[in-house]
Amino acid sequence: MLSRLALRLRASAAPYTAAAAAATATAAVLYEQQRVPAHTLQGSRLVMSGDCGGTNTRLQVFRVPTDAKATAGHMPPGELVFSKKYLNSSHVSFEEVCKTFLAEITPMTQGELPETCCLACAGGITNNTVSFTNVAKGWEIDGYALQASLKIGTVRLINDFEAQGYGLLTLGDAETIKLNDAPPRAGAPIACVGAGTGLGECFLTPDAAGNYTCFPSEGGHVEYAPRDQLTHDLLEYLKTKHGLKKRLSVERVVSGPGIAHTYEFIRQHAAYATRVDPALDKAFLAAAEHEKGAVVAVGALKGDPLCKKVVALFSESYGAEVGNAALKWLPYGGLYISGGIGAKNPEWVKGEHFMRAYADKGRLSPCVAQVPLYLVTTEDTGERGALFVAVSLLAKS
């Protein structure tokens, strides 16, 4: 795709219990670390990047050439020196996490500090700060304060989905699937929609030199729009479930939790209640909240009619919202579908339910047909985006 990106910017399912067990094992990991032997780069600099969520923080330090540049269509040059994931609840502050990390890299860097740092944070960024209300100790990350305390030249905070947007600029041809025949237009906006734990959206626009800037949005919280009687019933069910009177965010449907909630709706619906598979239903009810969507996905692969209906409803709703993004931003440089759900289940996005709802925009359907549509098949786009920004900050440091 980078050939295209340059053009565009430039132009056998496991048993249910096994799926749940695997998810549980993954969730049990408190932290992981990775050391990659670093070569000695002549004239090199260090940059730091991170992915900061409510539960875990992953920090990485890279060594890059002195003249390294963040160029669309390529991963920034250099090598990973050290990467580690920390459990937030084990630390009193984010500053403590960073100081622990920097102490751990000292033997590998001989005390050399990163010159720039970009942190992708799950939350709204205001004046280079963000607050994590779901961290027990009530963390606040202040980029300017970190610059002073860590002695790093520039620390920039960006929204986690903003990082996804910058990560698009690093993708190669083998990391996307083209979903339609529309060619990308040079110098046109780019947009991204991605479903995972939530539903993120962002868009990018170029300057006169063709360098793209990403802007976050809260598009995942626009109102959910039913398309038929069954989805009207789903809307009413979810409004009651969440204690809402008038509106429901599309994220309540188009997300991992949304898949689980849609199954809960279908299993009690008069048209489907008699077709519930007892074994699958038991596995679903016993699964932890973050595992329920995986149980549904496995059930759909095994041919369970309720799970297949849930996937159809999810895919239709997802496609409709991606089509809405196409109308809002007219991203003729490319509209990318990112996030773990699409990457793990590409057939959901490539299937008729998604694509038909995406294209069905009434009088403006021909307009949407001209937007190049891509599915991103890698799940590390956010981490890539944070590194891309960290390297780009070197030119301003």
pLDDT, one tens digit per residue, over 190-204 is: 999 999 989 999 999
Cβ contacts of 380 within 8 Å, gap of 6 or more: 167
What pLDDT shows up at residue 4?
A: 47
Identity of the highest mean pLDDT range in 23-32, 116-125, 176-185: 176-185
Reply yes or no on whether the pLDDT at 101 is more than 50. yes
Reply yes or no on whether the pLDDT at 159 is more than 70. yes
- Buried b / exposed e over 47-75, threshold 16 CB at 10 Å, is bbbbbbbbebbbbbbbbbbeebebbbbbb
My answer on whether 123 and 191 are in the same domain is no
Residues in the chain: 397
Reply yes or no on whether the pLDDT at 208 is more than 80. yes
Write the CATH number for 315: 3.40.367.20
CA distance 125 to 52: 12
Reply yes or no on whether the pLDDT at 108 is more than 80. yes
Using pLDDT thresholds of 50, 70 and 90, give the confidence band for residue 134: low
Q: Region 139-148: what's the mean pLDDT?
A: 94
My answer on whether 388 and 371 are in the same domain is no
What pLDDT shows up at residue 375?
A: 98
Using pLDDT thresholds of 50, 70 and 90, give the confidence band for residue 164: very high
CA distance 132 to 119: 14
Residues spanned by the domain of 289: 1-27+172-377
Contact criterion met (CB below 8 Å) for 200 and 336: no
Q: Give how far the C-alpha of residue 273 lies from the chain's centroid of Cα atoms, to the nearest Å.
A: 34
CA distance 337 to 193: 5
Q: Region 165-192: what's the mean pLDDT?
A: 96
CA distance 199 to 9: 25
My answer on whether 183 and 130 are in the same domain is no
Q: DSSP H helical segments within 80-228, as ranges?
A: 94-109, 143-150, 160-168
Using pLDDT thresholds of 50, 70 and 90, give the confidence band for residue 329: very high
My answer on whether 258 and 198 are in the same domain is yes
Q: Which amino acid is at 73?
A: G
Q: Region 217-242: what's the mean pLDDT?
A: 96
Backbone φ and ψ of 190, nearest 5° = -125, 150
My answer on whether 16 and 96 are in the same domain is no
Tokens of 106: 């000292």
Name which of 163, 136, 52, 37 is nearest 101 in CA terms.
52
Kind of pairing between the strands at 334-338 and 190-195: parallel
Tokens of 41: 């780069």
- DSSP code for 73: T
For tokens 């963000």, what's the residue?
A: 130
My answer on whether 300 and 195 are in the same domain is yes
Reply yes or no on whether the pLDDT at 266 is more than 50. yes
CB burial class (10 A; 0-12, 13-18, 19+) of residue 156?
Answer: buried
Split into its structural domains, the chain has a count of 2
Write the CATH number for 54: 3.30.420.40
Q: Region 233-257: what's the mean pLDDT?
A: 96
Tell me the per-residue pLDDT of 36-82, one tens digit each, with 9 for 90 and over.
444 455 689 999 999 998 778 999 999 999 999 888 888 899 999 99
- Range with the lowest mean pLDDT among 125-134, 191-200, 240-249? 125-134
Tokens of 190: 């780019």
My answer on whether 81 and 69 are in the same domain is yes
My answer on whether 69 and 196 are in the same domain is no
3-class DSSP string for 294-361:
HHHHHHHHCCCHHHHHHHHHHHHHHHHHHHHHHHHHCCCCEEEEECHHHHHCHHHHHCHHHHHHHHCC
My answer on whether 91 and 180 are in the same domain is no
What pLDDT shows up at residue 56?
A: 86
pLDDT, averaged across the chain: 89
My answer on whether 58 and 11 are in the same domain is no
Backbone φ and ψ of 230, nearest 5° = -65, -40
My answer on whether 257 and 359 are in the same domain is yes
Q: Give how far the C-alpha of residue 20 lies from the chain's centroid of Cα atoms, to the nearest Å.
A: 22
Reply yes or no on whether the pLDDT at 34 is more than 70. no
Using pLDDT thresholds of 50, 70 and 90, give the confidence band for residue 13: very low
Enter the pTM of the model. Answer: 0.86
My answer on whether 14 and 55 are in the same domain is no
Cβ contacts of 7 within 8 Å, gap of 6 or more: 184, 186
What pLDDT shows up at residue 342?
A: 96
